[in-house]
Structure formats: structure tokens, C-alpha cells
Amino acid sequence: MLPPFELCEPTSVAEASALLSRHGETARLYAGGTELLLAMKAGLLRSDYLVNVKTIPGLAGVRVDPDGTLRIGAATPHRAVERDPLVRARFPALARMEADVANVRVREVGTLGGNLCFAEPHADPGALLQVFDATVRLARAGADRTIPVAALFLGPFETALAPDELLTEIAVPPLPPRSAAAYAKLGILERPSAGVAVAVTLDGGGVADVRIAVGSVGPVPRRMPEAEALLRGRSLPESRAALPAAGRVAGRAADAVSDLHGSAEYKTHLVGVLLRRVFEQAVAAAGAPGAPG
């Protein structure tokens, strides 16, 4: 059973922000509720007021700017991203990742913005969005700011959102030509034990750029610049030969935490295994004629 709460239904970001200011820690934003309501049922979180962001016009939906940047409203359900024709055509790795979040019922209701704001470490989108250099827009009454998605995550269940701020939009820039992204995860429970994302840009016979992000393993999803440096600017055979070393470096840097989803040692190992898989997937997709990310 859900504990009692009062429902607030603002019709603007400013009104929602004012409600958060007025009620302080007794209020929480509510979108899909797929994480929040479970925590409330379990008695882990208490909220006297739930502020329903779905009543704010313009907070859900997907569009692509003329420069190719994908803009996803924070209250867009995972399934709407997964099924969107523009996302599938231009950001296929993102569509595939979204199609594998939890189960179909969670994806129908749960939102991409809610997933990011809850900052549950065992989640998929936070890692993949980082290899696209995605940004998030945070808004409050009369002001907004845009930060890299990586800067949103401060710790497990902890974000850079100010108490009266809302995440309103996720912006995903397109990858350069001859690039592709890939994401793979492995889990033994409902949630992933480890997830690894890459974006690869090919150039002649070589690997011009590589971006790597690891999620679910440590306290927050994060980029792995040291591992990227081992693979970047090399011929494809050289990059392949460096994959085991890059996997070890990324595994160590992921700051693995032992929990129900696996031991730190196991998760560290998984990072290397998944990195090899996603690197090959991304290279194959980037090499295909006209392949987008």
C-alpha cells in the first residue's frame, strides 16, 4: 500500500518550482513513479506532497533540431523514446538501450528524466548518454542552466538538482560522421550489475575517437578517459590489441561496489568483457555505409 500523500498538479515549471520551495523536503517531484512509489511503499521515502510534472505542458515529447541534436522532454516515457522513428533512425543505440530498460510496463510509465533524477546507480541511461556528451537542462522559477549529464550524478540517489529545480530536457548531440555508439549490460537480478557504453569514430583505417562510460558498477555512471586514451588515435588492430588493457583500466576506475548485484571483483571483470563486446558492435556499426550512432 502507498502511504497517504497530497497530490499537486502544477501547469508550469515555475509553479512546480514554487511548490518545491514552499513544501521543502516534504515534497517530491513525481513523473512515472516507477522508482519513487516503490520506495514509498517500502517505507524508504516519505513524501507529504507529490508534485506531478506530467501536468506541465511541453515536458514530454521528442524532437530533433536542424543541427541534428535530439531533444527529449524529461517526462517522456522510455517507450516513447524507444519507439520514436527519429530516435530509431538517428540514435539507434539509444533506442535499443531504452527498449531494454526493465520491462514493458515500467517503460510505458517510467520516464527518462525520472530515471536520471532518481540516480539509482543500477540503471542504463546515465552511462549511454555520457558517450553522446548529452546535456540536461535544469530549470526553476525564472532561471535555467544546462549541465553535462555526467555532472548531474553526485552519488547514489543524489543529484546536482537544487531543491527547487526540475530537470526539463535531455539534449543529445549527434555523433560525427563514421561514428556509432553501443551499449551492453549484464545482470542477474531485475537491474543491471554492469553496463558499458562506447561511441567510436572511424577515420581511414583507424580509430579517430573513442568514448567509454561505465554504469551500474560504482556509485555513479561515469566516463573513463584513461581507458579511452588507450584506444584513441590508433589503427583498428592496435585498438583491438589494447582492449584488454583498456578494460582493466576502466574496471579499476569504475570504483566497483559489492552489493546484491555482484561482488566488486565480478563487476570489475564484467567491465572488461562488456567493453570488448560493445567496442566491436560500435566498430561494425560505424563501418557500415551511412551508419548513424
Partner 1 sequence: MSELPVTLTVNGEVHALRLPPWETLVECLRDRLGLLGVKKSCDVQVCGACTVLLDGRPVSACTLPAFEARGREVRTIEGLARGEELHPVQAAFVEAGALQCGFCTPGMILAAVALLEESPAPTPDEVKHYMRGNLCRCTGYKRILEAILAAARRLAADGR
| Among candidate residues 17, 21, 12, 15, the one with its CA nearest the CA of residue 166 | 17
For residues 168 and 13, is the Cβ–Cβ distance under 8 A?
Answer: yes
CA distance 13 to 102: 28
DSSP string over 195-223? EEEEEEEEETTEEEEEEEEEESSSSS-EE
- 114-152 in b/e form (b: 16+ CB < 10 A) is bbbbbbebbbbbbbbbbbbbbbbbbbbbeeeeeeebbeb
In the chain the beta strands, taken as DSSP E runs, fall at 6-8, 27-30, 49-52, 62-64, 70-73, 135-140, 143-148, 153-155, 158-159, 166-172, 179-186, 194-203, 206-215, 222-223, 234-235
Judged by CB under 8 A, the stretch of 19-27, 96-104, 196-204, 249-257 that binds partner 1 is 96-104
Is residue 37 within the footprint of partner 1 (CB under 8 A)?
A: yes
Q: Is 41 in the site for partner 1 (CB under 8 A)?
A: yes
CB neighbour list of residue 290: distance below 8 Å, 6 or more residues apart: none
Per-residue contact string for residues 177-216; x = within reach of partner 1 by CB under 8 A: -------------x--------------------------
Taking CB under 8 A as the criterion, the residue among 22, 46, 63, 105 binding partner 1 is 105
C-alpha cell at 44: 524508504
235, 237, 230, 228: which is closest to 210 by C-alpha?
Answer: 228
46 binds partner 1 (CB under 8 A): no
Beta bridge partners of 196: 184, 214
* Owner of C-alpha cell 532561471: 143
Q: Which stretch binds partner 1 (CB under 8 A): 17-25, 98-106, 155-163, 173-181?
A: 98-106
Segment interacting with partner 1, rule: CB under 8 A, options 103-111, 169-177, 193-201, 274-282: 103-111
**By the rule CB under 8 A, 4 interacts with partner 1:** yes
For position 7 contacting partner 1 by CB under 8 A, the verdict is yes
Among 18, 45, 102, 236, binds partner 1 (CB under 8 A): 102
* DSSP H or E run through 22: helix 13-23
Q: Cell for 232?
A: 584513441
Residue among 19, 45, 64, 109 that touches partner 1 (CB under 8 A): 109
Closest to partner 1 by CB, 35 vs 165, is: 35
Q: Which of residues 125-164 bind partner 1 (CB under 8 A)?
A: none
Nearer to partner 1, 79 or 222 (CB): 79
Minimum separation from the CB atom of position 24 to partner 1 (A): 18
CA 239 and chain centroid, separation = 26
Q: Pick the stretch among 36-44, 167-175, 209-217, 284-292 that binds partner 1 (CB under 8 A).
A: 36-44
Q: Which stretch binds partner 1 (CB under 8 A): 2-10, 60-68, 178-186, 248-256?
A: 2-10
Q: Does 6 bind partner 1 (CB under 8 A)?
A: yes
CB of residue 144 vs partner 1: minimum separation in angstroms?
A: 28
Does 11 engage in binding with partner 1 (CB under 8 A)? no
Site residues, partner 1 (CB under 8 A): 1-7, 33-34, 37-38, 41, 50, 79, 99, 102-106, 108-109, 190
